Structure 1
Amino acid sequence: MTTTYAALLRGINVGGARKVPMAELRTLLEGLGHGGVRTYLQSGQAVFTSDHGDAEALAAELTGAIEKHFGFFVDVLVRDHAYLAAIADNCPFPASELEAKQLHVTYFSAPVDADRFAAVDQPAFLPEEFRLGDRALYLYTPDGLGRSKLSEQLAKPRVTKGLIATTRNWNTVVKLVEMTAE
C-alpha cells in the first residue's frame, strides 16, 4: 500500500549553515525510489509517497542518504498523513483564532510524558503555554517564537535529551496536512 509521508529535517538552511537545496533533496528522495516528491519552503519539509510502510526506517534511510550526499548529519522525522492530521485536529489551543506565528508544534521522535517537563515552571512564563500531544508539544507564544522565553526552556538538553525534536509554525503544520492529503 502506498502511503504519503512528510519528512521533517531538523536545523538545515539556517544562517547559511548545513545547506540542503530543496531541488537536491527532491532528487535524493526520488533516487531512493520514492514518488510524488515535493518540498515546502527552504526549512526542511519534503512530502513523498512510499510503499515501505515504516516511518522510522524511512527516516533512517533519508538521514543516511543526506549524510552521504551532503557530507553532514541531519536529524529527520518521517510522519504520515494520518498522524499529521491528528496533530492538527487535536490542537488544544484555538488555532483558528490565533496568528500562525503564535502557535507551533514540536514533533518528537518518541512519546514524551509530563515528567520530562516537570522542571519547567509553566506559570512563570504565562501567557506563554505548552501542552503535550502524541509525540508532539503544542506551544502558544503570543509574541512569536523569536521572543519566547518558554521555548528556550523547552529546548534545553535536559528536556530534549535522547530525542529528535523539530519545531514548525502553525502555517507549516496545516500545509503539511494538506500536502500529504493530496
Structure 2
Amino acid sequence: MTTKAYAALLRGVNVSGHKRVPMAELRALLTELGHGGVRTHLQSGNAVFTTAVDDEQALAARLEQAVEERFGFAVDVLVRDHAYLKAVVDTCPFPAASLEGRQLHVTYFSEPVTASRLASLDAARYLPEELRLGDRALYLYLPDGIGRSKLAEALARSAPADGVVATTRNWNTVVKLVELTRDGPA
C-alpha cells in the first residue's frame, strides 16, 4: 500500500483564545482517523500526516467532521499534498530568498480563484503591498507584515461568500510544510 504525505491546514483555530484545538489532541485525532507519522507545526492548526487515501477533499471533509465531533465547533480544513505545497514555493512570484518570512504570505483556497474575483480590488491603492494569483493560492507581499497590512484587511473584507475556503500562512510556515511533507512525517 502506497502512502502519501499531506498537510492539513485548519482555518481560524487558536486565534485569540477562540476555537481552541490543542495540537496534542489534533495529533491524537489524526492518528485515530488512521493516519501515520502525524506531526503538528506551531499552534495555528498545521498538521502533517501520511495516508494511502488519495483524495484531498475527502481527507479534509473527514477531518472537519472529526474536529466538530471532538471539539464541538466547525472548522474549515484544507488538505494539500507535498507536490502541491512544493509547487507553491517553486512558483512564488516574489523574491522569497531576499524577504523576511513575515513579509510574504500565501492564502490557500479550496478551489481555483480567478483574477476576476479580485477585479474590484484596486491593488495600486495598497502599494508597496502586492498580490499575485497562483494555482488555488494567492501570494501576498506585505513589507510591514500582515498585522499592519491594509491589503490583507481589504482582502478579508471582500472574502468570497460562495463557500470557497481560504486560509493564510506566512512564508516560514509555507516552507516548513514543504520540508515536513518531503519524505513524509517522521
Q: Under TM normalisation by the shorter chain, which class is it? A: over 0.9
Whether 2:129 is the aligned partner of 1:128: answer yes
Matches within 5 A, 1:89-104: 89-104=90-105
Taking the aligned partners of 1:161 and 1:130, their CA distance within structure 2 comes to 21
2:63 matched residue in structure 1? 62
Taking the aligned partners of 2:109 and 2:38, their CA distance within structure 1 comes to 23
- Give CA deviations for 1:127-179 in whole Å, capped at 9, x if unaligned: 00000000000000001100100011112245464210000000000000000
1:20 matched residue in structure 2? 21
Taking the aligned partners of 1:12 and 1:32, their CA distance within structure 2 comes to 20
1:151 matched residue in structure 2? 152
1:142 matched residue in structure 2? 143
What TM-score, normalized to structure 1? 0.98
2:7 matched residue in structure 1? 6
Taking the aligned partners of 2:78 and 2:31, their CA distance within structure 1 comes to 18
RMSD: 0.9
Q: How many residues align?
A: 182
Taking the aligned partners of 2:14 and 2:155, their CA distance within structure 1 comes to 22
Taking the aligned partners of 2:145 and 2:23, their CA distance within structure 1 comes to 26
In structure 2, list runs of 5 or more residues that go unmatched.
none
What TM-score, normalized to structure 2? 0.96
Percentage of identical aligned residues: 67
In structure 1, list runs of 5 or more residues that go unmatched.
none
- Give CA deviations for 1:32-81 in whole Å, capped at 9, x if unaligned: 00000000000000000000100100000000000000000000000000
Higher mean displacement: 94-103 or 154-163: 154-163
2:36 matched residue in structure 1? 35
